[in-house]
Amino acid sequence: MEPIKDLAQRWLDLDRDEASRKEISDLVEAGDEPELEKRLRTRIAFGTAGLRSSMKAGFAHMNSLTVLQASHGLADYVLTSKIPKDASQHSVVIGYDARYNSEKFARLAAAAFLSKGIKVLWFGQLVHTPMVPFSVGQYHATAGIMVTASHNPKNDNGYKVYWSNGCQIIPPRDADIAKAISSITTVDTWDPAVVDSHPNVDRIFPQATKDYMGALRELVWPMPSVEMVMPFTYTPLHGVGLPFLRQIAHDMWFRGNNLRVVKAQADPDPEFRTVPFPNPEERGALDLAMAEAAQNGTSLVLANDPDADRFSCAERRDKVTWHQFTGNQIGILLASHVFDTYTGNRARLTMLASTVSSRMLAAMAEAEGFHFRSTLTGFKWLGNVAQELAAQGKVPAFAYEEAIGFMFPGVVWDKDGVAAAAVFLSAWQRWKKQGLTPWQKLQQLYAKYGYFEDANTYLISPSPATTNAVFEAVRASNGGKRPERVGGREILRWTDLTLGQDSGTADGKPVLPVDASAQMITCELRDVVFTARGSGTEPKIKLYIEGKAGSSEEAKKLANEVLEDLVKEWFKPEFGLRLAGT
C-alpha cells in the first residue's frame, strides 16, 4: 500500500488550487495521518449520480482537482462514443446552481472540455437542474453536466452527468466513464475564465429558457382562465427555482398577489440560513412557508428544493392544521390529473414509478386500463425505461418516485420540480371547478382505488461495511436461511436484487435488474409491502413500508406495525444503527 506521505505529495504535485493545496499541506505539517488517510486514500466514486461529496481537499471529496479529473475523463469517453470521432461533432451542456463553488467547478469543467476540442453549451448564469437534460435534447448534445448537490447540506456539492438521450447515465456507461476518469494522471487546464471568451462556446441561456418555457406551456395547455386563479404561497428554499416558477405562473395567470413568495427564502443562498436541511421532505422545512401562508390567507404552499428538480406542497385544512402531502400522495394526485386530461389512446398511455414508491399507481392502472411499469429506484431508470417504452409504441406521460420527484416526458426525461408545480397548479384549478381541494381529491382517489399509507423512514448506519453486514445478517437470520416471517406476518414473496433472488417468479430470478454492489430486499406480506435498501449517496439504510386497507387509519397502522417489527428483528440498535428522529 502506498505510504500516505507519498499520496499527499502526489496531491500537492497535481493541485494548483491554493486553498485546497493549503488544506493538505497543513495536514502534512501537523502530521495528521488519520485525516490524510480519509481524504486521500480512496478516490471519490463516480457512479450513476456522477460525483457527490462534501467540499474538501483530497481525492475523496469534491474540489477543483477531482472535478477536473472527472471532466477530462468524461471528455475522453465522449470522444470515443460516436463515429466519426471528430471532436467538432460533440458538444456538452454545462449548468450550475447557487451552491458554494458551483460556478467555479462548472467553469473548470468547461475548460477541460474546451481543451479537448469539444463545444461547450454554456448557460453562464444560475439554472435549475432540469434545464441541463432539457438542453441536451434540444441541442442534440453528447452529454450534459449539472454542478449541484440538490438538497444536500451546504458543505456538499456534486457533478451530475446526463447522456445524449437526456437521461442520467446508467450501467455500464457509468463504469466505463469511471474507468476513463481513473486513467487521468495530469491536469493542465486550471483557468476558470477560459469559457468567457473561447470561440467554441455557445451561450444558450436566452433561447434554451424560452424553449423550456414553451414546453411547460404546452404541458399545462389549456391554460386556466384568470377567473379560476387563486393565490398560493411559494418557497424555493434559498435555491434557484423562483425565476422559472414565476414565469410559468405568470403565463398561467398567477400574477401579482396571486403568487406570494416567502421573502426570507426567495433569493439563492448557499448558507440555507432559515432551514437546518434544505429538503422539502424534511420535518420543519416548510414551517416558515406555512406560517407566512397562514398570515397572508393562502391555503396552498408549493415548494422546490434548492436545484428545483423536486417538488412538495401542503394544504391548510383549517385555521391551525396543515397537511403536507407525501411524495406518494403528490404522485397519485398528478397521475390522476394526467389520466383525466389525456386525450389519446389510453391503452397506449403509460405511467411509471420506482419499486419503492406506492403500489397505488399500479392499482389505478389496473382499474383504468393504462400501462404501468415499475423500475429500480432513481430517475436514471425511470427516464431510460420510459424511453424504451416509447420506442415500443407506448406513450409515457408521467413517472414519479416517492422522494418527491416527478417526471413529465413531454418536457424532460428526468424529475422536474418546476414542471410538477405547474401541473399541480393546473390540476388545482380543475379540482376547484369540481368543488374539491387537493386533499379532498386525494380522499376521492383513496375511496376509488384503496387506501395506501406508508411508514417510510431511514436508519443512520456507521459505515458501508456495517450496512453490508446488517443485510447479510438478515439473509441468515432464520437458521442460516432467509427469514420466512416479519413479526407475525408471513413473507409471501421475497425479492433480493443484490443476490438475484425472487420467490415469486417461475425461474426464481427477479424481473428488475440485479446489482450485487447495492443492498436491496423487498418483501410482500399479506397486507404490507416493504423494501429495505442501502443508500448509494448517504450513510443510511432506507425503509419503504406501505400498508393497504379499507381506511387510511388502518393502512397506516399496518405499516407502522411492520416498521416496529423490522427495527426489533432486522435492524437492531446493537448493529450501531440509529432510527431517524431518535
- In 191-278, at which residue ranges do the beta strands (DSSP E only) sit? 201-203, 232-235, 259-261
d(CA 567, CA 573): 8
DSSP state of 384: H
DSSP annotation string for 269-292:
-TT-TT-SS--TTSTTTTHHHHHH
Asked if residue 132 lies in contact with residue 145, where contact means CB atoms within 8 angstroms, the answer is: yes
Asked if residue 255 lies in contact with residue 249, where contact means CB atoms within 8 angstroms, the answer is: yes
Cell of 31: 502530521
- 31 CB-near residues (< 8 Å, 6+ apart): none
d(CA 18, CA 453): 52
Q: Which CATH class is domain 45-203?
A: alpha beta
Q: Which residue has cell 448509494? A: 536
Residue 352 corresponds to which amino acid? Answer: L
Indicate the fold that domain 453-579 takes in CATH: TATA-Binding Protein (3.30.310)
Strand partners, 145: 94, 161
DSSP annotation string for 389-458:
HHHTT-EEEEEEETTTEEE-TTT-SS--HHHHHHHHHHHHHHHHHTT--HHHHHHHHHHHH-EEEE--EE
- Note the pLDDT of residue 1: 82
- Note the pLDDT of residue 539: 82
The CATH 3.40.120.10 domain(s) of the chain lie at 45-203, 212-449
Strand partners, 201: 120
Asked if residue 137 lies in contact with residue 143, where contact means CB atoms within 8 angstroms, the answer is: no
Sign of the CA dihedral running 159, 163, 168, 169: negative
Could you state, in chain order, the average pLDDT of each consecutive group of 10 residues for the chain (582 residues)? Answer: 93 96 97 96 86 96 98 96 74 98 98 97 98 98 97 95 96 93 94 97 98 97 82 98 97 93 97 94 94 95 98 94 96 98 94 96 97 95 97 98 97 98 96 95 97 94 92 94 95 97 95 91 96 84 96 96 96 89 70
Asked if residue 64 lies in contact with residue 108, where contact means CB atoms within 8 angstroms, the answer is: yes
Cell of 194: 477560459
d(CA 212, CA 214): 5
The CATH 3.30.310.50 domain(s) of the chain lie at 453-579
- Note the pLDDT of residue 17: 96
d(CA 439, CA 299): 11
Reported as half-sphere exposure (CB side, CA atoms, 13 A), residue 153 has a value of 7
Give the H/E segment covering residue 7: helix 4-14
Helix pair angle (205-219, 131-138), 10° resolution: 100
Buried b (16+ CB within 10 A) or exposed e, 197-232: eeebbeebbeebbebbbebbeebbeeebeeeebebb
Helix ranges (H only) for 349-400 are 360-368, 379-391
DSSP state of 252: T
- 299 CB-near residues (< 8 Å, 6+ apart): 230, 232, 293, 315, 316, 437
Q: 179 φ, ψ to 5°?
A: -65, -40
CB-count exposure of residue 311 (10 Å: 0-12, 13-18, 19+)? buried
Superfamily of domain 212-449: Alpha-D-Glucose-1,6-Bisphosphate, subunit A, domain 3 (3.40.120.10)
3-class secondary-structure state, position 98: coil
Which active-site residues does the annotation give?
150
Q: Provide the CA 192 distance to its chain's centre, in angstroms.
A: 28
Q: Which residue has cell 429558457? A: 209
